[in-house]
Amino acid sequence: MNIFRLTGDLSHLAAIIILLLKIWKSRSCAGISGKSQILFALVFTTRYLDLLTAFISFYNSIMKVIYVACAYATVYLIYAKFKATYDGNHDTFRVEFLVVPVGGLAFLVNHDFSPLEILWTFSIYLESVAILPQLFMISKTGEAETITTHYLFFLGLYRALYLINWIWRFYFEGFFDMIAIVAGVVQTILYCDFFYLYVTKGECFLRFLL
C-alpha cells in the first residue's frame, strides 16, 4: 500500500467521523441529506461483502467494518435519534433515478459477471453519484452553511489522494482499473461542482480552513 492510498483512506474515515461528531454534538442533522447517507451505506454494504469470503489483511478488514458501521450509525442518527431535526421536505431527490441506472450499468459493464463482482462494480458506480441528493438539497434551499466544512474538505481530499494513488499504481505497479478511475473522476467533478455552489451561495471559502 502506498502513502497516497493510506492517507486517502484516513481522510475518508476522518470525513465520516467528523460528520458523525457534527450530528451528535449539535444534536441536529439539519442540512444533511439522509438520502445521500443511505446511498453511502448501500455503497459500503455492496462493496465489502467480501468480508465474508476473503481475508486480505487485518487493516483491510478493520477499515471495512468501520466504514460500514459508521455509515449505518449516520443513517440511524438521521432517521431515528434526531429524526425531528431532519429536513425531509427539502431532501426530495429521486434516488431511484440513480440506483436503477447504476444497477443496470453494473450488469453491463464489469470485470467479471459474478454476483460479488457485479455488486462491487455497482458500489463503485453508485459512490460516484451518491453525493447528488446532497447537492440537490443545497441547490433547493440555497443554503450550504449547515453542512460541515471539514467533512466536505476531507471527502474532497480523499478523492484527490485516490486519484494520485491510481496514477502511482499505474506507473509503479502497472495497475489500471478503468471502472474505478472513470467513476472516481465523475465523483471528483461532482465535488468540484459542490464547492462552486458553496462559494456562489455567498459563503466565505476561508471557512474550509477554519
| 180 in any annotated domain | yes
Q: What is the model's pLDDT at position 209?
A: 38
Q: Could you report how far apart the first and last alpha carbons of the chain are, in Å? A: 31
d(CA 199, CA 210): 15
Place of cell 454534538: 25
| 207 in any annotated domain | no
Q: What is the model's pLDDT at position 204?
A: 44
Within the chain, strands assigned E span: none
| The pLDDT of residue 207 is above 50 | no
User: What are the tens digits of pLDDT across the range 71-80?
Assistant: 999 999 999 9
Q: How far is CA 119 from the centre of its chain?
A: 16
> Within a 10 A sphere around the Cβ of 103, how many other Cβ atoms?
18
DSSP assignment of 152-190, as one string?
A: HHHHHHHHHHHHHHHHHHHHHH----HHHHHHHHHHHHH
User: What are the tens digits of pLDDT across the range 109-160?
Assistant: 998 899 999 999 999 999 989 988 988 887 777 665 556 667 877 887 888 8
Cell of 149: 466544512
Structural domain including 33 reads: 3-202
| 119 in any annotated domain | yes
Q: What is the model's pLDDT at position 139?
A: 76
CB 67 within 8 A of CB 158: no
| 210 in any annotated domain | no
| 42 in any annotated domain | yes
Q: What is the model's pLDDT at position 210?
A: 41
CB 152 within 8 A of CB 197: no
Number of domains in the chain: 1
**Position 7: which residue type?**
T
- Range from 86-95, 183-192, 193-202 that averages highest in pLDDT: 86-95
CB 127 within 8 A of CB 43: yes
pTM, 2 dp? 0.87
| 157 in any annotated domain | yes
Taken in order 206, 210, 164, 61, the sign of the CA dihedral is negative
| 115 in any annotated domain | yes
| 27 in any annotated domain | yes
| H helices, E strands: number in the chain | 8, 0
